[in-house]
Structure 1
Amino acid sequence: MTADGAPAAVTPKPKEKGPACKLSTIINGQFVTVQLIGKGGYGVVYEVIRLNSPNTRYACKAELALAHNNLKTEWDLMTLLKDNKSKHNIIGVELGSERNFNYIIMHLVGPSLADLRKNMPNKTFSLYTTAVCGIQCYDSLVEIQKLGYIHRDVKPSNFAIGVLGTEEEKLVHVLDFGLCRNMFNKNKELRKPRMKAPFRGTIPYCSLNIHQRMEPGRHDDFWSLLYMMIEFHLSDLPWENMNKENTKKEKETKIDSLLARCPPEFQMIRCYLLTLTYSREPDYVKLRGVLCQVMTSKKFTSDMPLDWQIGGPHESIFKPMANALKHKGSKRKVNLSELLDLPKPGSKVYIDSDFPHPGEQEPPRDESVSKSDDTIIEKEGPPPAPKPNNTINLEQLLVLNR
């Protein structure tokens, strides 16, 4: 069977519905699946235990074994990030194949930022938590981009904190490298942008460039992060659940009114992103400085509790879950002050006039384009099927973990 689902031989074969990875499946004679964490169009994620050490728990991501092994791509990038001492990457344990599926065993993490937000009373984070998560998500994307890749599917469900009730509940991890793309060729030269790129990403969070089928660039990951932070601060985006065309129109017409309700730094980020193109490398220091200013302008400090932590505004919602799950986490210490690395007093303060508003800017120059795609095989056609919303109520999670 080919990657697009077509028969690989003259004799048709029945289409497989999913990987043969179920509850209590033994993997490579070493691991056994004990609980379903999530599932989607590509496969499933299970919590697994090591047979010879039942107290050691991991996550297993399993996908149908197709012609193109997406998990091998993920594994390679996870390994690169680990070798480069990434602070936000999940550590991979094993890559392999079993029956009709490929799998990765990796360290177990906690709930995604999407699940955390949706379990908040108003479906919003405090501004402090929004800023802390925004800075860490940004840093994780920069780690990827410094290796020559872009993520191309930046959204809240692709970021997760560590296990609740542990030190790692302060740490944000980046997930799912299945759509990552290397922007550089073997000679380390930036690839020419395609005239028309396949749609890759998730509709509510992708940039207008992606709607227009332009070649995804580094700045497009940060557009998605900006939409995420608006959602963290204001609740559901107005275009959630709309189709692609209506979402595009809403993004074009609603962005100003949304940003008017956000800290001024959000508008600064938007104005700066409008100056970038596919080939223009972002000023990573400047962008991070603006993000950090969301915290420093409000005199937030790294010793303040996040919304889900003990002492946080929604401690009562998450404390029972933290007590039930903390035995599954690592004993690793996390220093949030070092992670955030906020500017020292007296550092540059960014102001509105540092970032020309739309209409005041000279439009970015067009890029030279190529009809070819010399990176990976990407066929034109509909985007991959979206993963269903598998948000789990906190009470359900507690029942699962008893």
Structure 2
Amino acid sequence: MPTVTDVLVDLVPGKVINNRWKIEGKLGEGCCGAVFKVHDINHTNVKAALKVEPNEESINVLKKEASVLKQLQVRQHTMRLVYSGRRELYSYVVMSLLGRSLNDIRREIEGVYMTAGTLHEIGYVHRDIKPANMVTGRLGYQRRIIYLIDYGMARNYAVWEDGKPRIRRSRDNVLLRGTVRFCAPTVHDRREQGRRDDIWSFLYMLVELHVGLPWPGKPEDKVEQMKRETTDAELLADCPKEWMEVMTHIHTLAYETRPNYRMIYNCFMATMARLNVTFDDPYDWETPADLEKLPPKMSMKSALNSTKKNAEKDRSDLGTIMSKVGGESAYVYPTTVAAEFDKDDIRL
């Protein structure tokens, strides 16, 4: 069976994959594969990310990731799946080339919450939400959008029978999937992960980016103990008070329960309103030149109070702003309206 080392030896700068994608360099490497920056040889300004893994039955992560991405293509805040294929030594997918992770830029952005809800609406849970799997867009207005990446650990919590979805039966004593630092306490019990657990990880991620979690670098048994012994009041002591309402809601949820996405979104927007933070405020990675390209202000009130009735108009207004300030180079934000969180496409 080929190894990651075998694949890396074969994939060197200058090599062309599928007669189209030329490797520029390696972006990252893990135990199961690697990611490369590539460009289209027919359109050299078109950049993309090439993710590869050895053709080994014990890994087989990319197949799951490609499947999830295909189902997400019609959704917002989703990276684009350009192509997928298989060679003698490795399998690969070509996808959007994005920017830095939240792990690098160290700033929490509540808008990232949209990405988890989008995945849930097609019947999957991510099971590894953490700063390193949240990245910014690379160009234009996309630099103010956060994308959820790495769907290799995703699992469908919903199954379809006769064209209708139902909750997949939970298993007992499942393997720990995810990152110990950010996984929900229920994961340490080896219980099945549901939508609740993604939201729990999301809140842990916000705490980490805001003040830091109290258990970094410790072994799993110690992390589990600290998660159980640390009260919510202690964990969130130096965080926005609205986050306690989110945590309280999480505790009411079971594996099969749909989170109240709208309520959680409203909590985050209430924090921004109370702290007088707007969508127009500079982001950590923006330069003065970037800020000059900002479109007209989007008020907090419109972001918080938008409804299904005016959602279509809000989107039309955003499109008008984009066209006036230069299309992709524009910084239109927020890219979602509150009505998005009233949707229950899967009805589970």
TM-score band by shorter chain is 0.7 to 0.9
State the shift of 1:15 in Å: 5.7
Matched, 1:142 2:100: no
* Match 2:100 to one of 111, 114, 136: 111
Higher relative contact order (CA 8 A, sep 6+): 1
* Match 2:85 to one of 87, 96, 107: 96
CA contact (8 A) 2:20 2:42 kept: yes
Matched, 1:185 2:162: no
State the shift of 1:41 in Å: 1.2
Give the whole-Å Cα distance in 2 for the aligned partners of 1:35 and 1:310. Answer: 26
**1:382-397 residue pairs with structure 2 within 5 A?**
none
State the shift of 1:226 in Å: 0.5
Give the whole-Å Cα distance in 2 for the aligned partners of 1:214 and 1:89. Answer: 28
Give the whole-Å Cα distance in 1 for the aligned partners of 2:328 and 2:263. Answer: 34
Name the structure with the higher helix share. Answer: 2
How many residues align? The count is: 295
Give the whole-Å Cα distance in 1 for the aligned partners of 2:271 and 2:204. Answer: 16
State the shift of 1:333 in Å: 3.8
Give the whole-Å Cα distance in 2 for the aligned partners of 1:250 and 1:311. Answer: 42
Which residue in 1 is equivalent to 2:236? Answer: 259
Which residue in 1 is equivalent to 2:332? Answer: 335
Give the whole-Å Cα distance in 1 for the aligned partners of 2:331 and 2:52. Answer: 29
State the shift of 1:220 in Å: 0.2
Matched, 1:243 2:219: yes
Query: TM-score, normalization: structure 2?
Result: 0.80
State the shift of 1:53 in Å: 2.0
In the TM superposition, what whole-angstrom CA distance separates every residue of 1:149-194 from its partner, at most 9, and x where no partner exists? 0000101111100126x32210101101101111122312211111
Which residue in 2 is equivalent to 1:390? Answer: none
Which residue in 1 is equivalent to 2:28? Answer: 38
Which residue in 2 is equivalent to 1:369? Answer: none
Give the whole-Å Cα distance in 1 for the aligned partners of 2:90 and 2:37. Answer: 16
Give the whole-Å Cα distance in 1 for the aligned partners of 2:282 and 2:6. Answer: 41
Give the whole-Å Cα distance in 2 for the aligned partners of 1:244 and 1:159. Answer: 23
Give the whole-Å Cα distance in 2 for the aligned partners of 1:71 and 1:195. Answer: 26
Q: Aligned letter for 1:196? A: N
Give the whole-Å Cα distance in 1 for the aligned partners of 2:128 and 2:12. Answer: 27
**1:155-194 residue pairs with structure 2 within 5 A?**
155-163=130-138, 166-187=140-161, 188-194=165-171
2:328 match: secondary structure = coil
CA contact (8 A) 1:27 1:98 kept: no
The percent identity for this pair of structures is 29
2:177 match: secondary structure = coil
1:38 match: secondary structure = strand
2:221 match: secondary structure = helix
Which residue in 2 is equivalent to 1:198? Answer: 175
* Match 1:153 to one of 119, 128, 144: 128
CA contact (8 A) 2:158 2:168 kept: yes
CA contact (8 A) 1:154 1:225 kept: yes
CA contact (8 A) 1:48 1:58 kept: yes
- 5+ residue gaps in structure 1? 2-13, 118-124, 313-329, 344-402
2:46 match: secondary structure = strand
Q: Aligned letter for 1:59? A: A
CA contact (8 A) 1:114 1:157 kept: yes
In the TM superposition, what whole-angstrom CA distance separates every residue of 1:52-84 from its partner, at most 9, and x where no partner exists? 22222111111111236322221222121112x
Q: Aligned letter for 2:143? A: E
State the shift of 1:36 in Å: 1.1
Q: Aligned letter for 1:157? A: A
* Match 1:28 to one of 18, 23, 34: 18
Which residue in 2 is equivalent to 1:370? Answer: none
CA RMSD across the alignment: 2.1
Q: Aligned letter for 1:185? A: V
Q: Aligned letter for 2:49? A: A
State the shift of 1:227 in Å: 0.7
* Match 2:72 to one of 62, 75, 81: 81
CA contact (8 A) 1:167 1:332 kept: yes
CA contact (8 A) 2:105 2:284 kept: no
In the TM superposition, what whole-angstrom CA distance separates every residue of 1:103-130 from its partner, at most 9, and x where no partner exists? 111121100111112xxxxxxx3xxxx2
Q: Aligned letter for 2:40? A: R
Which residue in 1 is equivalent to 2:286? Answer: 309
State the shift of 1:292 in Å: 1.7
CA contact (8 A) 1:171 1:334 kept: no
Which residue in 1 is equivalent to 2:273? Answer: 296
CA contact (8 A) 1:21 1:62 kept: no
**1:47-86 residue pairs with structure 2 within 5 A?**
47-67=37-57, 69-83=60-74, 86=75
Structure 1 residues 279, 18: closer, same or farther in 2, change over 3 A? farther
1:277 match: secondary structure = coil
- 5+ residue gaps in structure 2? 290-326, 340-348
CA contact (8 A) 2:62 2:91 kept: yes
Which residue in 2 is equivalent to 1:268? Answer: 245
Query: TM-score, normalization: structure 1?
Result: 0.69
